[in-house]
């Protein structure tokens, strides 16, 4: 999948991933009304509304971007019904040729980590046949438990040609509480990055590894340093747009050839119609507003990388 992702980034000239992180606040009223009328104003109705909303956005942007990143928490909050919407979204995006990064931030040990890897990137064996649970192309993974938590994912990545993005430095203000603490003169996140690079070398694609990492856009000074420590890993960069990151801050995350990083924007794209800038699209034009926001982001990144 990393080879396909890199190829699609080149082809579409867009190192962009659309974060499909819906909340009911983002969903236009006309979609909610129709879903609630059909299924009730409950977990099922809300999940249907979210699926319809997602579908509209995917239809409007799938030709522009290589990948989407549904954040599973936003679906899990609606319980089992929400996870049905998550699965429908994953399947639909794959049908549309998009690479799907499941932002699940799972992390556990041994057989438990294996179960997460199997559930999200592979299939569970039942009477000798493999059945796929969620079947994303990539998953995000939390490193706090060390190699025992990561190795089951590496095994599955090799078997299925799928990938993971390991959290190195997150984009939130308090990420420094633990991640920035110095150990032997280097911050914890750099120690994690060194391990990520070791894991990355174990599972190489053509030019990049199936093992990528997450480094927040809110820390541009780290971009260049992290690129050096993990030269084979794609960096998934959250925090663009709503969280404060701008295109010009992101140059250091990329290699000279414009590859090596993919930038996520969630609400900046999916709720674009609620921003003043795109308000003329109105509620019914929410998907077209998302398309306009993607085009603007593409331009912003292109300009930043050209400099």
Task: Pick out residues in 283-302 that bind a copy of itself (CB under 8 A).
Answer: none
Q: Least distance in Å: CB of 100 to a copy of itself?
A: 14
DSSP-assigned beta bridge partners for residue 214: 167, 236
Torsion 58-27-135-166 (CA) sign: positive
x-or-dash pattern for a copy of itself, window 262-281, by CB under 8 A? --------------------
Q: Least distance in Å: CB of 1 to a copy of itself?
A: 19
**Cα–Cα distance list, 251 to 69, 89, 241 (Å):** 21, 31, 15
x-or-dash pattern for a copy of itself, window 122-161, by CB under 8 A? --xxxx-x-xxxx-------xxxxxxxx------------
SS3 102: strand
DSSP 132-179: ESS--SEEEE--TT-HHHHHHHHHHHHHHT-EEEEEEE-SSGGGHHHH
* Cα separation, 299 vs 153, whole angstroms: 35
With CB under 8 A as the rule, give the number of residues binding a copy of itself.
Answer: 71
The stretch among 8-16, 185-193, 205-213, 284-292 that binds a copy of itself (CB under 8 A) is 185-193
Q: Which of 39, 55, 115, 201 is in the footprint of a copy of itself by CB under 8 A? A: 115
136, 121 in Cβ contact below 8 A?
Answer: yes
Of 267 and 291, which CB lies nearer to a copy of itself in the complex structure? 267
x-or-dash pattern for a copy of itself, window 41-80, by CB under 8 A? xxx-xx------------------------x-xx-xxxxx
Q: Specify the pairing of strand 182-183 against strand 129-132.
A: unpaired
234, 204 in Cβ contact below 8 A?
Answer: no
Of 147 and 303, which CB lies nearer to a copy of itself in the complex structure? 147
In sequence order, what E strands does the chain have?
16-18, 67-68, 99-106, 123-126, 129-132, 138-141, 163-169, 182-183, 186-187, 211-215, 235-237, 261-265
Of 11 and 173, which CB lies nearer to a copy of itself in the complex structure? 173
* Cα separation, 219 vs 249, whole angstroms: 8
Q: Which of 175, 201, 202, 296 is in the footprint of a copy of itself by CB under 8 A? A: 175
Of 39 and 251, which CB lies nearer to a copy of itself in the complex structure? 39
Q: Least distance in Å: CB of 209 to a copy of itself?
A: 19
Considering the rule CB under 8 A, would residue 109 count as an interface residue with a copy of itself? yes
Q: Which of 8, 36, 64, 225 is in the footprint of a copy of itself by CB under 8 A? A: 36
Q: Out of 55, 105, 151, 302, which one is annotated catalytic? A: 105
Q: Least distance in Å: CB of 52 to a copy of itself?
A: 15
Closest by Cα among 189, 115, 206 to 152: 115
Rg (CA), the chain: 19
The stretch among 168-176, 202-210, 222-230, 293-301 that binds a copy of itself (CB under 8 A) is 168-176
Residue with tokens 């990329």: 254
116, 97 in Cβ contact below 8 A?
Answer: no
The stretch among 93-101, 155-163, 190-198, 293-301 that binds a copy of itself (CB under 8 A) is 190-198
Active-site annotation holds for 277: no
**Active-site annotation, residues:** 105
């Amino acid at each position: 999948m990393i080879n396909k992702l890199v190829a699609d980034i080149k082809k579409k000239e867009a190192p962009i991933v659309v974060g499909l992180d819906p909340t009911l606040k983002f969903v236009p009223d006309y979609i909610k009304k129709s879903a609630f009328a059909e299924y009730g104003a409950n977990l099922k109705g809300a999940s249907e509304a979210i699926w319809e909303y997602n579908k509209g956005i995917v239809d409007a942007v799938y030709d522009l971007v290589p990948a989407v990143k549904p954040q599973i928490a936003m679906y899990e909050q609606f319980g089992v019904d929400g996870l049905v919407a998550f699965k429908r979204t994953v399947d639909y995006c794959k049908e549309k040729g998009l690479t799907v990064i499941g932002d699940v931030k799972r992390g556990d040990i041994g057989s438990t980590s294996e179960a997460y890897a199997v559930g999200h990137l592979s299939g569970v064996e039942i009477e000798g046949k493999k059945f796929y649970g969620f079947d994303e192309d990539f998953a995000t993974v939390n490193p706090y438990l060390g190699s025992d938590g990561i190795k089951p994912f590496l095994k599955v990545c090799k078997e299925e040609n799928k990938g993971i993005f390991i959290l190195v430095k997150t984009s939130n203000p308090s990420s420094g509480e633990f991640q920035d603490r110095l150990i032997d003169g280097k911050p914890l996140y750099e120690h994690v990055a060194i391990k990520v690079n070791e894991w990355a070398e174990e599972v190489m694609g053509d030019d990049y590894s199936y093992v990528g990492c997450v480094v927040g856009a809110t820390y541009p000074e780290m971009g260049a340093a992290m690129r050096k420590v993990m030269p084979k890993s794609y960096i998934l960069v959250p925090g663009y747009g709503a969280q404060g990151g701008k295109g010009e801050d992101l140059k250091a995350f990329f290699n000279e050839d414009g590859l090596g990083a993919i930038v996520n924007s969630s609400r900046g794209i999916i709720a674009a119609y609620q921003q003043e800038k795109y308000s003329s699209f109105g509620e019914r034009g929410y998907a077209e507003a998302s398309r306009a926001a993607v085009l603007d982001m593409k331009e912003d990144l292109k300009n930043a990388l050209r400099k």
